[in-house]
Amino acid sequence: MTAAPREFLDYVDAHKDAFVQRLSDAIAIPSVSGDASYRKHVHEMGHFVQRELNALGVDTKLIPLGPQELDGQTVELPPVVIGRLGDDKSKKTVLVYAHYDVQPALLSDGWTHDPFVLTHDKATDRLYGRGTSDDKGPLLAWINVLEAHKKLGIELPVNMRFCFEGMEESGSEGLDDFINAESKPGKYFDGVDCVCISDNYWLNDVTPCLTYGLRGISYFKVNIQGPAKDLHSGLFGNCVHEPMTDLFHLFSKLVTPHGKILIPGINELVAPLTAEERARYERIDYSIQDINESVGASIALSSDKAEVLMGKMRYPSLSIHGIEGAFSAAGAKTVIPAKISGKFSIRLVPDMTPENVDGLVIKYLEAEFAKLGSKNKMTVENLHGGKPYVADPNHWNFVAAAKATEASASFYGPWT
């Protein structure tokens, strides 16, 4: 195993407090992208990131993405912070992605302290604050790495490009177009050999992970219209076809309580499992206890670790999310809801795509609804779709990342 240079690791230890202070400064900027009233702080955070990169000799630019309609007003999208360091033709060029915006966080959500004040919990020796792990910590880790190399005079083994956005928690609005435009020959991302996305999960809190795939999605809204307005169950129960009854019958046909999708043709789209893949899942440092702990209940679908992991990552899933238009408050309202929209989505894996899935789903819903014999009207909308992504974990990019992770883990891990 190649270890990280001793002097590098010593630098990290010696500057721990400064690194924590840098994170603390970043957490103090409430860069919530989903709320117009916080938008100025998202821009402020973009400037913060640019200053940190500039201080380390990175050639940066703030790329404006134009206006956005949010909360009834027109606001400026936060800029993409791009950066460039090194242009040695004999080296590989690595593009690093991370995001500097965060999800909303309020004390009233259940935080035990101000979420925008980085707080050290002595009992667990952990740092808490909105964005600490998602995604300011991982972003600043790159700044720390660059600083250590620069201060120690260690040459970077690769050329680097940076792409830090401020809209990840709000659909990455504007990013796709920018990336597509800049990926053309002669443009900013031309010549990039591989990408490192610094915004991912571990499976437990012991063993680092490299993510090489992401399930896609097809999200469906199933509208059932019955009466013209909500009815009182005392006056109209057992007198007309009720949309809620139809919806419960219909959605009970989607997936079994054990997670098996019942829509014909869906499971046949899944790429066959190879022996190598199966073996890879067997080797993952994970247990049924890990899954039960991470969800806070002993509700894993299987007692076979590899099966659970494959269910989570390698196979599709179908989840029912809720109903719009029905009674959803506390208490005991005796309403027959008139027009409801059931929502569910399917997580897609290769070789599923929104295109080859959606038709099967809609055809099945229509056929099953017809079997109910209801006089209510059903329509299906597709709210959004995204293709699955999977890379080859044997690609040199992942092999290099695995080596680097092991090298640092041998000094700092396990992270218990």
| Contact set for a copy of itself, span 154-213 (CB under 8 A) | 201
CB closer to a copy of itself out of 153 and 234: 234
Q: Say if residues 40 and 70 touch (Cβ distance below 8 Å).
A: no
Output the smallest distance, CB 180 to a copy of itself, in A.
Answer: 23
Q: Residue from 73, 319, 394, 410 that binds a copy of itself (CB under 8 A)? A: 319
Q: Say if residues 4 and 411 touch (Cβ distance below 8 Å).
A: yes
* Stretch 214-243 residues interacting with a copy of itself (CB under 8 A): 214-215, 217, 219, 221, 225-229, 231, 233-242
Any idea which residues carry the catalytic annotation? 101, 168
Which token pair is 54?
């500039």
Map residue 124 onto helix, strand or coil: coil
Q: Residue from 128, 327, 389, 398 that binds a copy of itself (CB under 8 A)? A: 327
Size of the site for a copy of itself (CB under 8 A): 78
Which token pair is 119?
């707080």
Q: Residue from 318, 352, 360, 361 that binds a copy of itself (CB under 8 A)? A: 318
Which token pair is 213?
């795939």
CB closer to a copy of itself out of 162 and 251: 251
* Stretch 333-352 residues interacting with a copy of itself (CB under 8 A): 333-337, 343, 345, 347
**CA atoms of 247 and 243, how far apart (whole Å):** 6
Output the smallest distance, CB 370 to a copy of itself, in A.
Answer: 11
Q: Residue from 311, 360, 361, 401 that binds a copy of itself (CB under 8 A)? A: 311
Map residue 63 onto helix, strand or coil: strand
Which token pair is 397?
């990019």
Q: Say if residues 61 and 126 touch (Cβ distance below 8 Å).
A: no
Q: Residue 375, class by beta-carbon neighbours within 10 Å (0-12 exposed, 13-18 middle, 19+ buried)?
A: exposed
Smallest CA-to-CA distance from 85 within 165, 5, 183, 162 is with 162
* Stretch 247-276 residues interacting with a copy of itself (CB under 8 A): 248-249, 251-252, 254-259
Q: Rule CB under 8 A: is residue 115 a binding residue for a copy of itself?
A: no
CB closer to a copy of itself out of 301 and 404: 301
Map residue 317 onto helix, strand or coil: strand
Q: Residue from 17, 186, 375, 416 that binds a copy of itself (CB under 8 A)? A: 375
Q: Residue from 62, 75, 301, 391 that binds a copy of itself (CB under 8 A)? A: 301
CB closer to a copy of itself out of 110 and 153: 110
The full length of the chain comes to 416
**CA atoms of 175 and 168, how far apart (whole Å):** 9
Output the smallest distance, CB 271 to a copy of itself, in A.
Answer: 16
| Bridge partners (DSSP) listed for residue 16 | none
Q: Rule CB under 8 A: is residue 389 a binding residue for a copy of itself?
A: no
Which token pair is 232?
């009182």
Output the smallest distance, CB 100 to a copy of itself, in A.
Answer: 21
